[in-house]
Structure 1
């Protein structure tokens, strides 16, 4: 069974195409399951859409849910459409986000850390002028936030867990192995999944999130894995799915998962 849980659409302001464009692209790519998971609104901000090029407006949230539910029915004979969301994780606002999601019939929510120390993890300049000690501390902060997100009970999937390397490939060389291992222990203990996110291949690092080394450690600790293209254009839906499947088998994984009504569906590799 071929699936992709991580796709975006024009509502977030930095993706191209409607939700239906991603559904039809998934059908064309031979998928049986497509998850729609656009960037969550900034629910804690006083403005409706404080960052138009980053996430959807709060006023778009209800129509987003309604559209995905409509497409679920419209395409039910051709593909299974899942209602998801990629939710920013801000520990100080977690209760606000929890309340916003409480009555929504999500199939899954992806929890993603996009900011550390108030700076985007994708900011190319965040590392400039930092000492080696500060490099380590920033990486430790990143993984501490990921551990916190796993413990919330709000997320079924954790997004791109080493994405700080996207525009700074040297991130992988910053020594923080104990923090990564502890993070994977927590994720396994909370029965949350991590995604293999192929959008890293479109950035400077030129490879998936997370690295093979982290995936090997994830297998050791018993972490479940899923697949997400993180497509921001319809043509990337399911991108490199077969390559990821092959690599997971080589590493030693026997299965991966997706979610329906927040219940884990196991798919043999």
Structure 2
């Protein structure tokens, strides 16, 4: 199974990544990625870009080096109310939003606290993807979140970076999340969480996991360009974009 889409990527603009946007897109082109999303960390992450960066992303061409470029953000969930660090006026301009928990932006709590923060964030219609939920630092009620993802039409990310050592101990949670998504018919999206160009399009660890979970292809969003475009259009985004 070939994966053609990578929406979780970072550049030097995020403050702790190592390549530029053009370098990332070039790598995506070379490894066969058809749609690459750029998703810098939201401004509450130390070193992250100013909010103006996200407001100015319409300057990025839609296609570069033959790769369709989607303009997003990995926004930070800030509190138990599920608030994000991106104001609504900017949220409405982006092609997609990943919402994630990071310990420098929200202190890890118990299972109930973490779950409530994510569930409340999911009431925001601009959120499209929940990022790296398998992080063991944040215990969650997997079934409650997957059920709400189905209700709210939100994708669950399975994060290759987490499985490659950036969040140790994530595998057991990620396989449980994948299995819950499979059982409940909730769509997943695989993300590399690249912080350097060379990992863009490398889904080696997460491929092993979804294969182990016997995840059906129809639930994996990365296998066909039309899947992600139609999904985002269904949420009122990419209104003036059509695949050729």
* Structure 1 and Structure 2 fold alike (TM over 0.5): yes
SS in structure 2 opposite 1:211? helix
Aligned residue pairs total: 222
Which of structure 1's runs of 4+ aligned residues deviate more than 6 A? none
Matches within 5 A, 1:29-108: 29-42=31-44, 51-52=46-47, 55-63=48-56, 65-67=57-59, 69-70=60-61, 72-75=62-65, 78-90=66-78, 91=81, 93-94=83-84, 97-102=87-92, 104=93, 106-108=94-96
What is the CA-CA distance between 1:252 and the residue it aligns to?
3.3
Kindly provide the CA deviation profile for residues 89-128 of structure 1, in whole angstroms up to 9, marking residues without a partner as x. 23374596223322x1x32111112249942x5xxxxxxx
Structure 1 residues 14 and 101, CA, compared in 2 at 3 Å: closer, same or farther?
same
Structure 1 residues 206 and 26, CA, compared in 2 at 3 Å: closer, same or farther?
farther
Structure 1 residues 147 and 204, CA, compared in 2 at 3 Å: closer, same or farther?
closer
Name the residue aligned to 2:202: 239
For 1:85 and 1:58, how far apart are their aligned partners in 2?
10
For 2:91 and 2:171, how far apart are their aligned partners in 1?
29
Structure 1 residues 13 and 219, CA, compared in 2 at 3 Å: closer, same or farther?
same
Name the residue aligned to 1:22: 24
In the alignment, structure 1 segments of 5+ residues that lack a partner are 43-49, 122-136, 166-170
Kindly provide the CA deviation profile for residues 214-267 of structure 1, in whole angstroms up to 9, marking residues without a partner as x. 2101211221101110001111112225x53454244232321263382369xx
Name the residue aligned to 2:240: none
Q: Structure 1 length as normaliser, TM-score? A: 0.71
Structure 1 residues 74 and 229, CA, compared in 2 at 3 Å: closer, same or farther?
closer
What is the CA-CA distance between 1:207 and the residue it aligns to?
5.2
For 1:110 and 1:209, how far apart are their aligned partners in 2?
22
Q: 1:216 aligns with which of 179, 196, 219?
A: 179
User: RMSD value over aligned CA atoms?
Assistant: 2.9
For 1:33 and 1:208, how far apart are their aligned partners in 2?
26
Q: Establish whether residue 193 from structure 1 lines up as the match of residue 155 from structure 2.
A: yes
Kindly provide the CA deviation profile for residues 20-58 of structure 1, in whole angstroms up to 9, marking residues without a partner as x. 11101111222122111111224xxxxxxx832xx2122
* Greater C-alpha Rg: 1
Q: Structure 2 length as normaliser, TM-score? A: 0.78
Q: 1:152 aligns with which of 107, 124, 132?
A: 124
Q: 1:263 aligns with which of 230, 233, 242?
A: 233
Contact 1:2 1:33 survives alignment (8 Å): yes
What is the CA-CA distance between 1:10 and the residue it aligns to?
0.8
Name the residue aligned to 2:239: none
